[in-house]
Structure 1
Amino acid sequence: MSESVKNVDDDTALEEQARLQEEELALHGWDFIFSVVVIVFSIFIIAHSLTMPFSGTVGGVKTTWYESPGLLPLFIGAALLLAGIVLFVNNAKENGRTLFMERIKDVNPSGFLISGGGILTYIYIMITWYDFFLASLVFLLFYIGLYYLDEPKISSKLIKLYSAFMVLSVAIFGSGLDETINAGYEFTTDIILIVAAIAIFALFKISEKQYGAEFKRKVKVLALVSFLFPLVICPIFRYFLLVPLPKEGIVVEQVLNTTYFKYAGQKEVKEGKTLSADEAAELDDAF
């Protein structure tokens, strides 16, 4: 009896191993074609960023890089290109192209549409209409949660939640209602993304009891990365490279800019030369 049970367990283990190997091979195929899409998209970003100026004038002094609207997209495009090339090379070694061609008939377009839709909404809705810090935070919570947590039920709820906020954003900004909302306080609409971030994080925390300790650990990592990335990127571009962010709102303008220019920025001016009225005006316009 025990021998038969052992044989059944061995067969089950072999079947599970074969299933995992099949899934791994399938992932190599999808990763291969995804790397091609990332490479093409990154080249497009780099090409357009190179058409933007990389110099300007600050305080009457001509500078290179500091006044550059093309620097941020160039940085993002270069990072995407590097990531795409690494992914392409790794999957090419695993016969990714062949595996993709074998499974192309089974392609589910919804995955590609969600991935592409997420990036497009980030570019044309999030960082265009909302504070850059909050836009990046919400996007990362959504995008990393979608793939890193890898739970179908959570992913479905995430997509619905994120889509609802995007529809609400288009309705508000597309109709011009944002001008009325921001009449009393110019960054009132940014509260929408604060609510979105809280709602997404609440979804993760509520689900922890259902999915266990490993899921809880993933949520901690996800939240940490989503918060730290914009917290590092914003000061680097805004204060070190002096590149204005696409949209500076309730966090960047009211918190980061106020803190920096009140303390660190003020100290730098005092230690430097005395600016003329015209130079001070030009420097103020630069920010």
Structure 2
Amino acid sequence: MIYTDMIEIEKLRKADIFSGTAIFCLGVFAVYQAFQMPMKDSYAGVQNVWYVSPALFPLLIGSTLALLGLILIRTALKEVGVQGVKAVFGYLSSTAFADFLKQPVTIRFYGIVLNLFIFVFLLIPNIDFFLAAILFLLLFFFMFYCGFDERLVGLISKIIGGTFILALYLISDLADKVDTFAYFSADILVIAYIFLLIWHYYQLVKESELIPKFKLSLLIGFLAPFTIGIIFKYFLLVPMPHEGLVVSLLDAIWYAEIWS
């Protein structure tokens, strides 16, 4: 038992080398970005001092992350030594590592990272918040709550395909040209993708025991964004990250003259 625990600790320490490196790089990046902000400046003739700079908090967080990353690397190297590092690199170039990358648990990790990446970098800046949140939740539910491993790769491939089409549409001149005669064309494209995704997944689960979970996923996937979004937008008066088709419709309803 003790020997097994020691083996597990050694594996964790080897993983800490890479985790510490990633944390250190993230901290350095945060510090670099913080230095792009003004440490002190003058606004309307008033000189702001350094300790009220917006760069102070990310600078503190980045420095702390970088320091903790270095400590984690040092602790790991002290435990496993240089030979342990060599063994890790040997494992990374082996067929065992290639097999690990194909395991269901690893594929699930791909799905999580992919969904978060799409939500943060593609949907939030360009698509109506309500639609972005609905698609984000539905993808997570279809992957993990009412999904099954043998369909996960196919679902991820469809996500990548839809993301590629949407990204290509947004970065090309096509989106601007279509918006001249059809407003919120990117939002309409996402709506079509959401309904195609729902229809496709329904065909997969309609004759299985997953259908109750599928229905619950739809309920939460649509209800949660609208509940939270409406509270923040119209009661707390917090603007959405990107306001498009759905927000325009809600504005028309919320501020309609019939309520006055």
TM-score (norm 2): 0.58
Compute the RMSD of aligned alpha carbons. Answer: 3.2
**Alpha-carbon spacing, 1:111–1:151, altered in 2? closer, same or farther (3 Å):** closer
**2:113 aligned partner:** 116
Kindly provide the CA deviation profile for residues 170-201 of structure 1, in whole angstroms up to 9, marking residues without a partner as x: 11111232101111132122111111111111
**Alpha-carbon spacing, 1:186–1:148, altered in 2? closer, same or farther (3 Å):** same
**2:184 aligned partner:** 187
Q: Relative contact order (alpha carbons < 8 A, sep ≥ 6): 1 or 2 greater?
A: 1
2:137 pairs with 1:140 = yes
Is there any run of 5+ residues in structure 1 with no aligned partner, and where? 1-28, 52-103, 268-287
Question: In structure 1, how many angstroms separate the alpha carbons of the residues matched to 2:214 and 2:111?
Answer: 21
Corresponding letter in the other structure for 2:227? V
Instruction: Using the TM superposition, give the Cα deviation of residue 112 of structure 1 relative to its aligned residue in structure 2, in angstroms.
Output: 2.6
List aligned pairs for 1:63-74, cutoff 5 A. Answer: none
**1:170 aligned partner:** 167
Question: In structure 2, how many angstroms separate the alpha carbons of the residues matched to 1:220 and 1:169?
Answer: 27
Corresponding letter in the other structure for 1:114? G
**2:199 aligned partner:** 202
**1:157 aligned partner:** 154
Corresponding letter in the other structure for 1:238? K
Q: Is the 8 A contact 1:181 1:189 kept in 2?
A: no
Helix, strand or coil: the match of 2:181? Answer: coil
Q: Is the 8 A contact 2:107 2:153 kept in 1?
A: no
- Identity over aligned pairs, percent: 26
Question: In structure 2, how many angstroms separate the alpha carbons of the residues matched to 1:157 and 1:172?
Answer: 23
Instruction: Using the TM superposition, give the Cα deviation of residue 111 of structure 1 relative to its aligned residue in structure 2, in angstroms.
Output: 3.2
Corresponding letter in the other structure for 2:129? F
Question: In structure 2, how many angstroms separate the alpha carbons of the residues matched to 1:192 and 1:139?
Answer: 15
**2:53 aligned partner:** none
Kindly provide the CA deviation profile for residues 60-83 of structure 1, in whole angstroms up to 9, marking residues without a partner as x: xxxxxxxxxxxxxxxxxxxxxxxx
Instruction: Using the TM superposition, give the Cα deviation of residue 161 of structure 1 relative to its aligned residue in structure 2, in angstroms.
Output: 2.0
Aligned with residue 238 of structure 1, among 224, 233, 256 = 233
**2:256 aligned partner:** 262
**1:247 aligned partner:** 242
Q: Which runs of 4+ in 1 moved over 3 A?
A: 104-111
Instruction: Using the TM superposition, give the Cα deviation of residue 166 of structure 1 relative to its aligned residue in structure 2, in angstroms.
Output: 0.6
